[in-house]
A and B are shown apart, each in its own frame.
Chain A
């Protein structure tokens, strides 16, 4: 069922189409035919040395010529049309019909050809009707709209559209003229719904697997806002007036800045900083971005269960206003509780609540001031105020027929604010679409017209001539002015280029990595953002829309994506692939608004391979040898004690005091170490206009006392330091990480032992935080080492603030869950391992001692065996690894099993075992080899330890 449909009666499909065109014309949609837009090719024309044949080769891909004309070189990466298997669920039949009739008029510049160029208007219309019925049946009908238009969402979408990177390929919608043509959006408002477009924007490759539309890593609310913006014409189109979206539970809220002191206009304006849905009348959870003084707008429908007299009790903090069905029923300037008595009828009533608040942040600050000043007061009266829960600052209760004063429960609230956003133009009565014979004809046409070739690559399309057999000079055919097969509306230049490609038989020509890269960069429009070989980057008009977040002073480096010159030399292949496909290693995300989008994995692999082949000339040389001592020198150099890199760079989340540039902690995973060496000697050689200074430009460093003053060795030391990853210890001069909790424990010069509640470990967890920034949790209930992680240690607030009953997880990352219990006495080595959750304790915990450097050794007994276990961090390139040192004493001979690892598949590798990303190695002189047993939770790596009355020492290393 189409969500909304005007009441007008049902003339035929064609009449309806004319009506739609009239409406769309009235809405100001452009309708001018244009040759298909392939921006990469336009840009390639300016590349010195690029030939028409090369550009023609790109066009062969981008126009999907090879979908019909087979060629030996065509791979899976080539452009195809969108997946239409569910098209009926997301595209309005009316739009489909218009588009199929004249693709290039509805979407000027589209690469979708006119597939029936030779048919007369009447036949074409009949074919289109059949195709529409067929397509609309696939996944149809169009999903009803569930979204109500909201100005602040549309505004947010506008900001996103013009900042996260959409305008690199698509036209900015603020009227500015761009030098490079834009990929058309078509008449989106007539085509689809907010929910459907938002789903597409979050994962475009589900529908367009070729990846020309990349993924921008949008959050759900971002995709909603962006979709609402792109479909904003739906919010104002005349036919949707009076149509409401279906109700949703809860109230809508919007937070506005309110420093000025006035209440926002009822209904919310354009200045909201945040919006969403609230379950009931309360202050939303504060966020860091909230202003200190805010105005909260809450709106929704209140279900009145019975006609009668109702009293509302409204507790507010400051000036506030309560409107019911558009009339102000309560207004206060001072806050506190106010009441209103109203006669209400059964049914829904529209409620809007606007109130001013101070946020937690400002309140805490003032409270701190207040308590300092209040010390001289007589003891006694101040305590209860400090415990004021936030929810009490805003509350709405009511009483009515048959019930006393109570909070207005969630079930009484619903919202469907704003007008329904449904596709503009007429809806399609389902009965008109329901014509099985026509639908069947449509299915046939879909094949006969070779639609399947592009839209259903798995289907076998009727074959056309092979590329090799085509005559580039033929007077009839796709390349002629009077196209016979399909008509793309090609420009003269495009025809020339395609002919050149056919003549040169580009598919048969030997390619080089350089040529392939140029081809790929053109196909995926990489140069819309990036510069390589002197070409590319946003044109002037678009360039202004590339901005830096929160006014960080980094110049163009802070707003424009990096150059691709030497990218294959700089970045490790894994990092390149991660950046291209998975959104990993986005070091600039913190300060750059534009986002590096995600492409299909196959594309990422190809580009990575070719970039490395082209850019990586010099052999890498041996990477710096890691040692904790040189890493410490590196730390000195990076900190304020050295070259003060931290003035501009963050390190592992710790903030630089000044401009907070790229976080250095991930560098070793991202960069080739030899590039790093060369770069630090002369940064400006690698990046024009960089602010990065060359501290080591001569062979002798300014710090002559470190590593003999050797620049090369100092750079290696910095690399060693950075290679610690999450285990990295913040350098001197670093501000503490932003917004760290009040009770955060930070190991500095010696380990921190901390007994606590811990999530997934339990009520008897003993945590050890090491200065090496590797930390462990020992479970004194189950009696085994249960967890290890890197980075930040732990927030003791769970057991230190307030009533202390919280189970918190680690603050850091790289969390490793170790299996347990560690030891068991088994009847045979492959007997099932005792279950840890059964409550029975297989070992007795005996405490711990603090040894050398106050590093704890845990003491426990399994049967009559006394066990000492010392977890130790060992600094290594890639982050600290965990070493577990065991000492076992048994009075009598026996065998004990040690569970080294559990999970997935465990396989033997050089020097140990591997299970996924975890590597285990082990050494003990006295025991046999570990064995892999099958367990219910995956493979188990067990080590039998034979005890003969003397002490046995055993070491296990876990690397992950």
Chain B
């Protein structure tokens, strides 16, 4: 009987692809044009493992670790929330062989807690229905107080109305990002869907911060205090992105504009964007529109960016200290982002970092030893990997890979810095290519790379220490992704460049 299924399966896939059905999950959307990024033709997984190894926590049927949030406690333990509403306490997170790792149940029965935050003796989480804070009052190792901090956002009964966070900013206020619904709304249209909200934990008052979010699966406060979020591509968010959240921003999705009158100015005057406008030009008609910091080109850099964090391990996790690491829920991968502020706008480049996890990654959490806990679930969507959920830890082997560390915008191109000194002969022999493309803001689901153009590249001189290289690009195109592909670059010690692609989203030109 086996052959039937496989035959039917093939038919299914091809017909799905041909049909373009309305409700296509972001993570499994198959495009007929989908292809592997050219720069990654050699299977990098085995090479990645040389530098970053994966430690897998074994599955346990009694404990379905569909990780939806993680929090490092001061005592060395880890709190792990699950999509199905439990919070587990992992007592010994750092075992090299985690078979014997001890988990105890800290809380249960929550509605999709998609964030964990410790503040003033409370543990905060955003649930489906409310922002909650919890406490283990009697010290028996289980939470017994569940207080409602804020429950003013609406619920339409649609599955897609997730809430992410909270994260605390420098004013002590809590940020929550809310998903907009996708499909039927059994309880009627709800307010504050697709918004970034800021809530005062002391008073429970809410301040609407940004509109136009679609599926903002990650929200994080940067080490310097600015708040960023990741958004999943779909309708009106036609490429996945990282964006800076500032009061008054509109990020493109018109769904949440039903609440704009409640929000007052500057939101009340946001017009509904016209479908098909290039995002780079949208500010002309929608002044509140905020361009992203980084676009994650579809399938090249994941499909569904989720949780993120800044590597604050001061080198314990390798040479990328201070950079942003972003999980992807479809590609079961972690990406790396370099940011710089140009002309008042945060922008930068994203790079492949590590793939080959067992399931789509929803959340990241950095351990006290710098290692990276990766929490996963693909329930409802599916992802790469051979498991439906789980917890894995990414540990630096202390081997330094050759990677593009940063990609800084210059007046005439980019300055690339590397993790290791480059071999000067290699630089001469290497080939560099840059493609540029941008995206429209459209009502359709997802969107192609538009107005594509190859740019001319020339390499400059290698710096004395061998770690920096200028590339001149002509012309630089503001509003476009600059996709850099490098072949044949080597370090002085002979290591080849591990990931040969970088994607710089150029929004503003460098004044210089």
Chain A residues in the interface with B (C-beta under 8 A): 293, 315-318, 334-337, 358, 363, 371, 374-375, 377, 379-389, 392-393, 743, 752-757, 762-764, 766-767, 780-781, 796, 799-805, 807, 845-851, 854, 859
CB neighbours of A757 from chain B (8 A) = 157
- What are 24 A-B contacts with C-beta separation under 8 Å? A317-B5, A336-B7, A358-B1, A379-B384, A380-B384, A383-B384, A384-B382, A387-B382, A388-B12, A754-B85, A755-B110, A755-B128, A763-B128, A764-B128, A764-B155, A767-B109, A781-B129, A799-B85, A803-B159, A804-B379, A805-B157, A846-B147, A849-B145, A851-B144
In the complex, what distance in Å separates the CA atom of A543 from the CA atom of B490?
91
Contact of B84 among A382, A796, A850, A851 (CB under 8 A): A796
In the complex, what distance in Å separates the CA atom of A846 from the CA atom of B187?
22
B28 at the interface (CB under 8 A from A): yes
Contact of B380 among A371, A374, A756, A804 (CB under 8 A): A804
Smallest beta-carbon distance B377→chain A, Å: 11
Residue interface mask B1-34, A partner, CB < 8 A = 1: 1011101111111010000000000001010000
Is the Cβ of A334 less than 8 Å from the Cβ of B384?
no
Contact of B385 among A379, A393, A801, A848 (CB under 8 A): A379
Contact of B109 among A315, A379, A754 (CB under 8 A): A754
Contact of A780 among B130, B145, B378, B384 (CB under 8 A): B130
Among residues of B, the one whose C-beta sits closest to the C-beta of A780 is B129
Is the Cβ of A392 less than 8 Å from the Cβ of B28?
no
CB neighbours of B143 from chain A (8 A) = 850
Contact of B157 among A379, A743, A807 (CB under 8 A): A807
Known: A383-B382, A755-B128, A807-B186. A847 touches B4 (CB 8 A): no
B108 at the interface (CB under 8 A from A): yes
CB neighbours of B3 from chain A (8 A) = 334
Q: Chain B's interface: helix, strand, loop or mixed, by majority? A: loop
Contact of B159 among A316, A317, A363, A804 (CB under 8 A): A804
CB neighbours of B11 from chain A (8 A) = 315, 336-337, 392
Contacts between chains A and B (CB distance < 8 A), count = 154
Smallest beta-carbon distance A661→chain B, Å: 32
Given contacts A371-B386, A845-B151, 8 further A-B contacts (CB under 8 A): A363-B5, A380-B385, A380-B386, A388-B8, A388-B12, A392-B15, A755-B85, A805-B159
CB neighbours of B184 from chain A (8 A) = 805
Is the Cβ of B7 less than 8 Å from the Cβ of A799?
no
Smallest beta-carbon distance A115→chain B, Å: 63
B178 at the interface (CB under 8 A from A): no
Is the Cβ of A850 less than 8 Å from the Cβ of B144?
yes
B111 at the interface (CB under 8 A from A): yes
In the complex, what distance in Å separates the CA atom of A162 from the CA atom of B129?
56
Of B7, B112, B147, B382, chain A has the most CB atoms within 10 Å of the CB of: B7
Among residues of A, the one whose C-beta sits closest to the C-beta of B143 is A850
Among residues of B, the one whose C-beta sits closest to the C-beta of A293 is B1
In the complex, what distance in Å separates the CA atom of A763 from the CA atom of B154?
9
In the complex, what distance in Å separates the CA atom of A537 from the CA atom of B155?
62
Contact of A763 among B129, B378, B383, B384 (CB under 8 A): B129
Contact of B112 among A381, A752, A799, A846 (CB under 8 A): A799
CB neighbours of B128 from chain A (8 A) = 755, 763-764
B496 at the interface (CB under 8 A from A): no
B320 at the interface (CB under 8 A from A): no
Among residues of A, the one whose C-beta sits closest to the C-beta of B138 is A850
Please provide the chain B residues from 343 to 360 with a CB less than 8 Å away from any CB of chain A in the complex: 356-358
Of B129, B155, B357, B385, chain A has the most CB atoms within 10 Å of the CB of: B129
In the complex, what distance in Å separates the CA atom of A1 from the CA atom of B232?
65
CB neighbours of A317 from chain B (8 A) = 4-5, 8
Among residues of B, the one whose C-beta sits closest to the C-beta of A395 is B15
Smallest beta-carbon distance A477→chain B, Å: 73
In the complex, what distance in Å separates the CA atom of A393 from the CA atom of B15?
12
Smallest beta-carbon distance A333→chain B, Å: 10
CB neighbours of B384 from chain A (8 A) = 379-381, 383
In the complex, what distance in Å separates the CA atom of A8 from the CA atom of B84?
73
CB neighbours of A796 from chain B (8 A) = 84
Among residues of B, the one whose C-beta sits closest to the C-beta of A319 is B4
Residue interface mask B126-167, A partner, CB < 8 A = 1: 011110100001000011111110010001111110000000
Known: A358-B4, A807-B157. A379 touches B187 (CB 8 A): no
Contact of B8 among A315, A767, A799, A849 (CB under 8 A): A315
Is the Cβ of B386 less than 8 Å from the Cβ of A377?
yes
Smallest beta-carbon distance B60→chain A, Å: 15
Among residues of B, the one whose C-beta sits closest to the C-beta of A388 is B12
In the complex, what distance in Å separates the CA atom of A384 from the CA atom of B378?
11
Residue interface mask B157-189, A partner, CB < 8 A = 1: 111100000000000000000000000101100
Interface residues on B, range: 35 or more
Is the Cβ of A805 less than 8 Å from the Cβ of B158?
yes
CB neighbours of B9 from chain A (8 A) = 385, 388
Contact of B187 among A762, A780, A848 (CB under 8 A): A762
B332 at the interface (CB under 8 A from A): yes
Is the Cβ of A763 less than 8 Å from the Cβ of B146?
no
In the complex, what distance in Å separates the CA atom of A805 from the CA atom of B10?
29
Known: A383-B378, A755-B109. A336 touches B8 (CB 8 A): yes
Smallest beta-carbon distance A818→chain B, Å: 20
In the complex, what distance in Å separates the CA atom of A780 from the CA atom of B351?
44
Is the Cβ of A803 less than 8 Å from the Cβ of B380?
yes
Is the Cβ of A335 less than 8 Å from the Cβ of B8?
yes
Among residues of A, the one whose C-beta sits closest to the C-beta of B161 is A763
Is the Cβ of A753 less than 8 Å from the Cβ of B108?
yes
Among residues of B, the one whose C-beta sits closest to the C-beta of A335 is B4
CB neighbours of A755 from chain B (8 A) = 85, 109-111, 127-129
Among residues of A, the one whose C-beta sits closest to the C-beta of B380 is A803
Is the Cβ of A374 less than 8 Å from the Cβ of B8?
no
CB neighbours of B380 from chain A (8 A) = 802-804
Smallest beta-carbon distance A139→chain B, Å: 45
In the complex, what distance in Å separates the CA atom of A851 from the CA atom of B28?
44
Known: A334-B7, A392-B8. A764 touches B385 (CB 8 A): no
CB neighbours of A358 from chain B (8 A) = 1, 4-5
Smallest beta-carbon distance B11→chain A, Å: 5
Of B110, B142, B156, B378, chain A has the most CB atoms within 10 Å of the CB of: B110
CB neighbours of A766 from chain B (8 A) = 109
Of B1, B15, B159, B186, chain A has the most CB atoms within 10 Å of the CB of: B1
In the complex, what distance in Å separates the CA atom of A854 from the CA atom of B109?
12
Known: A383-B382, A392-B15. A763 touches B155 (CB 8 A): yes
Smallest beta-carbon distance A793→chain B, Å: 12
Is the Cβ of A379 less than 8 Å from the Cβ of B358?
yes
CB neighbours of A767 from chain B (8 A) = 109
Smallest beta-carbon distance A861→chain B, Å: 11
| Cβ-closest 9 pairs across A and B | A805-B159, A763-B155, A755-B111, A753-B109, A383-B382, A764-B129, A847-B147, A803-B380, A336-B7
CB neighbours of A375 from chain B (8 A) = 386
Is the Cβ of A801 less than 8 Å from the Cβ of B187?
no
Is the Cβ of A847 less than 8 Å from the Cβ of B148?
yes
CB neighbours of B112 from chain A (8 A) = 799, 804
In the complex, what distance in Å separates the CA atom of A752 from the CA atom of B382?
29
CB neighbours of B137 from chain A (8 A) = 849
Is the Cβ of A802 less than 8 Å from the Cβ of B145?
no
In the complex, what distance in Å separates the CA atom of A335 from the CA atom of B5?
9
Is the Cβ of B145 less than 8 Å from the Cβ of A374?
no
In the complex, what distance in Å separates the CA atom of A293 from the CA atom of B151?
50
Is the Cβ of A847 less than 8 Å from the Cβ of B132?
yes
In the complex, what distance in Å separates the CA atom of A388 from the CA atom of B6?
11
Smallest beta-carbon distance B109→chain A, Å: 4
Is the Cβ of B382 less than 8 Å from the Cβ of A379?
no
In the complex, what distance in Å separates the CA atom of A890 from the CA atom of B331?
55
Known: A755-B111, A803-B380. A764 touches B151 (CB 8 A): yes
Smallest beta-carbon distance B3→chain A, Å: 7
In the complex, what distance in Å separates the CA atom of A918 from the CA atom of B386?
53
In the complex, what distance in Å separates the CA atom of A58 from the CA atom of B10?
73
Smallest beta-carbon distance A30→chain B, Å: 52
CB neighbours of B385 from chain A (8 A) = 379-380, 383
Smallest beta-carbon distance B104→chain A, Å: 15
